Amino acid sequence: MHFGSDNESGASPRVLEALARANDGAESAYGDDAYTRRAVEALKDVFRCDLDAFFVSTGTAANGLALSCLVQPWQSILCHAQAHVLLDESTGPELFTGGARLLPISAGDGKLRPDHLARHFETAGSHPPHNPVAAALSVTQVSENGLVYTPEELAALCGEAHRRGLTVHMDGARFSNAVAALGCAPADISWKAGVDVLCLGASKNGALAAESVIFFKRDLAATFAHRRKRAGHLASKGRFLGAQFLGWLEGGHWLELARRANERAAELGKGLASLSGVRLAWPVQANEVFAVVPKGWAEEMRAAGAVFFDWYPDVLPPGPPLEKGETLVRFVASFSTEASSVQKFISRARGHPIP
Ligand SMILES: Cc1ncc(COP(=O)(O)O)c(C=O)c1O
């Protein structure tokens, strides 16, 4: 009954097999190897376009390095109030960008919209060098509250960002879950919608530790290799990052894994919604479930072995606030979450534990 994070999962056996295949013999180091080159070609196939791509081993490094290519230290990055780059990466983005400021603009809404950008530009100071100049928008797909941006929503948001002179970064730690949920082409929610740089994460969805930074607007990639090296994120045995992506992407395996995770989350959401005293905070659209539950219930379920985390209460949608004695919790399903584990959890919650 592990629903703490998709980071709690292991790696997909197919990714491990790809790693084992890459283990034989000598290969050029520092990403100048056949596996890395083939992985970049595989990404071109998946996104059906020309692109530049680089591999690193953590999402925080991917986001920070990508953003550092988009902004100067005196500029700002607009983002959602619950953005991972804002709340969950310490001051990594500031470190990588040399001090650029992250500015939340979503004011309690679930997803970013064009009017959030408009409002920011109406109210923000516009007297450089006194005010930070907005230069980039960062949007997370799947969003931090488990919501999926449609191609149309992204096109409207990115269109507005571009009209205002911003480049668009997408934190795609769960991009695969969004593609699986929408049943769209990866291009539809990336470059075709106006995303300039995508951090496509594989670690949460079947890789050991592999993230890619994909530049659809290729001129933005000019300094990336230098930034990655000086930040200590150029892996000497880069072939293993490339190999993970090859095993992950081959034959659509990444989407198969994401579909599995999404299905488990849907089952979990349905089960939770059927319990009295429990309400879903947001609709379940991908592999995360946010629910308002009685604190005592959460304690009992944890005592019974369930793992899930309390979540930022300000992630709640507009509506009834938390009652005293209630708490907001997050459940995450991964490709390795068993249907039986979800059933066990829901039965236990209903008072009929499955041994
Ligand atoms: C939305 C989002 N972005 C990025 C990351 C990547 O972070 P990490 O540096 O832990 O790989 C995570 C991981 O929790 C995440 O949830």
pTM of the full predicted structure?
0.96
Give the mutation target among 88, 170, 312 for probing the ligand 1 site: most ligand atoms within 8 A of CB: 88
Dist. CA 52–CA 33, nearest whole Å = 15
Q: What is the β-pairing status of strands 52-56 and 309-310?
A: unpaired
Of 283, 278, 284, whose CA–CA distance to 326 is shortest?
A: 278
- Rg (C-alpha) for the chain, rounded Å, is 21
Instruction: Show the beta-strand stretches assigned E in 161-320.
Output: 167-172, 197-201, 211-215, 279-280, 288-294, 309-310
3-class SS of residue 134: strand
pLDDT tens for each residue of 90-99: 999 999 999 9
pLDDT digits (tens, 9 = 90+) for 278-294: 999 999 999 999 999 99
For a substitution probing ligand 1, which of 56, 89, 90 has the most ligand atoms within 8 Å of its CB?
A: 89
Rounded to the nearest angstrom, the distance between the alpha carbon of 236 and the centre of ligand 1 is: 23
Q: What atom of ligand 1 comes closest to residue 58's alpha carbon?
A: 11
The pLDDT tens digits of the residues spanning 13-25 come to 999 999 999 999 9
The residues facing 327 across adjacent strands are 293
CB-based pocket (< 6 A), ligand 1: 7, 58-60, 84, 140, 144, 171, 173, 203
Q: Tell which wins on pLDDT, 41 or 317.
A: 41
Distance from residue 350's CA to the centre of ligand 1 (Å): 33
Tokens of 151: 């191609």
Q: How many CB atoms lie within 10 A of CB 82?
A: 20
The span from the CA of 334 to the CA of 105, in Å, is 30
DSSP 306-321: -B-EE--GGGSPSSSP
Distance CA 132, CA 71 (A): 11
- What pLDDT score does 354 carry? 58
